[in-house]
């Protein structure tokens, strides 16, 4: 398995706080069956002022630490990129790293407020030749009123990545509901851990993969944790990777999902 969203690098953002924690998380990932991890620290101007060069330097240092401790885990570069002006220019200049230097970019929307011109920003990135991979839409507090935005983005060619722990209920009922709905509707390209901590946010992908397989089948679950992630690392064109199986499912009325989430 490949994990394309992990805050593994020590002391660089809100993930692993030091080398010991980073090594513990790396060992957990290997034990879970993960063989490649994209190190994706936040790039959030004013809060996490990471850059492509800084991330690549940190990855090179951590590779040496992994080798010194006999941990067989491959690392590739990336970043959890927040919305900002001039994203395309920053990518071309190398200030913002894409996943493994490919055309695919992790894009993290704000958690609590639907951003203005979000779709426009995504479309601009696609016009510039990049494939935005929207991270954990199922965990956004505003998904209830804007679910159709994510449906439209998938149809337009953007990719969706949900968190393994959302499918298993680690983040609560609401993210699990939206994760399962997106899986059922054929809107999910990738499953990843978004790991931050060995206990609170562990790098566990297998349990989420198994839970997803019960909804979408073994083959599609494998595509989510191996085939498409490997295609990203290899910079394969989206059209040459397994396509989503789009499904038409009646929209669930708000009163119904509130009841499902125990809010009625």
Residue 248: the pLDDT is 55
Q: Per-domain residue ranges for the chain?
A: 2-260
- Share above pLDDT 90 across residues of the chain, in percent, rounded to a whole number: 88
Neighbours of 247 (CB within 10 A): 11
- Chain centre to alpha carbon of residue 124: 20
Residue 264: the pLDDT is 38
Tokens 């505003």 correspond to what residue? Answer: 142
Residue 262: the pLDDT is 57
User: Looking at residues 74-103, what average pLDDT do you find?
Assistant: 94
Given a cut of 90, whether residue 258 has pLDDT beyond it is: no
- Residue 174's φ and ψ, nearest 5 degrees, are -65, -55
User: Looking at residues 222-231, what average pLDDT do you find?
Assistant: 98
What's the chain look like in SS3?
A: CEEEEECCCCCCCCCCCCHHHHHHHHHHHHHCCCCEEEECCEEECCCECCCHHHHHHHHHHHHHHHHHCCCCCEEEECCEEECCCCHHHHHHCCCCCCHHHCCEEEEECCCCCCCCCHHHHHHHHHHCCCEEEEECHHHCCCHHHHHHHHHHHHHHCCEEEEEHHHHHCCCCHHHHHHHHHHHHCCCCCEEECCECECCCECCCCHHHHHHHHHHHCHHHHHHHHHHHHHHHHCCCCHHHCCCCCCCCCCCCCHHHHHHHCCCC
pLDDT digits (tens, 9 = 90+) for 49-65: 899 999 999 999 999 99
Neighbours of 262 (CB within 10 A): 8
Instruction: Give the pair of three-digit tokens for residue 105.
Output: 């970019």
Q: The pTM is what?
A: 0.92
Given a cut of 60, whether residue 144 has pLDDT beyond it is: yes
Residue 48: the pLDDT is 83
Given a cut of 60, whether residue 180 has pLDDT beyond it is: yes
Given a cut of 50, whether residue 213 has pLDDT beyond it is: yes
- Integer Cα distance of 10 and 198 in angstroms: 13
- Share above pLDDT 70 across residues of the chain, in percent, rounded to a whole number: 93
pLDDT digits (tens, 9 = 90+) for 29-55: 999 999 999 999 999 877 888 999 999
Instruction: Give the pair of three-digit tokens for residue 241.
Output: 């990777």
Tell me which architecture the domain covering 2-260 has in CATH.
Alpha-Beta Barrel (3.20)
The number of CA neighbours under 13 Å toward the Cβ of 232 is 32
- Integer Cα distance of 72 and 66 in angstroms: 7
Given a cut of 70, whether residue 253 has pLDDT beyond it is: no
Given a cut of 90, whether residue 255 has pLDDT beyond it is: no
Given a cut of 90, whether residue 189 has pLDDT beyond it is: yes
């Amino acid at each position: 398995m490949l994990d394309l969203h992990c805050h593994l690098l020590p002391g660089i953002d809100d993930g692993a706080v030091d080398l010991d924690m980073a090594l513990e998380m790396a060992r957990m990932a290997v034990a879970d069956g993960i063989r490649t991890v994209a190190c994706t620290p936040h790039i959030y101007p004013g809060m996490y002022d990471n850059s492509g060069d800084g991330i690549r330097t940190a990855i090179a240092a951590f590779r040496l630490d992994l080798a010194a401790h006999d941990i067989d885990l491959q690392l590739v570069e990336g970043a959890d990129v927040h919305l900002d002006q001039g994203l395309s220019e920053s990518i071309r200049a190398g200030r913002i790293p894409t996943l493994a230097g490919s055309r695919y970019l992790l894009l993290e929307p704000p958690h609590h407020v639907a951003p203005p011109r979000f779709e426009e920003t995504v479309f601009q990135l696609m016009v510039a030749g990049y494939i935005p991979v929207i991270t954990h839409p199922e965990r956004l507090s505003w998904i209830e009123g804007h679910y159709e935005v994510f449906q439209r983005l998938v149809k337009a060619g953007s990719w969706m990545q949900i968190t393994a722990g959302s499918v298993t209920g680690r983040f609560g009922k609401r993210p699990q509901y939206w994760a399962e709905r997106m899986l059922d509707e054929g809107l999910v390209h990738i499953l990843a851990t978004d790991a931050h901590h060995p206990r609170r946010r562990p790098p566990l992908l297998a349990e989420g993969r198994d839970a997803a397989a019960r909804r979408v089948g073994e083959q599609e679950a494998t595509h989510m944790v191996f085939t498409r992630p490997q295609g990203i690392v290899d910079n394969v064109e989206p059209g040459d990777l397994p396509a989503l199986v789009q499904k038409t499912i009646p929209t669930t009325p708000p009163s119904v999902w509130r009841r499902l989430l125990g809010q009625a």
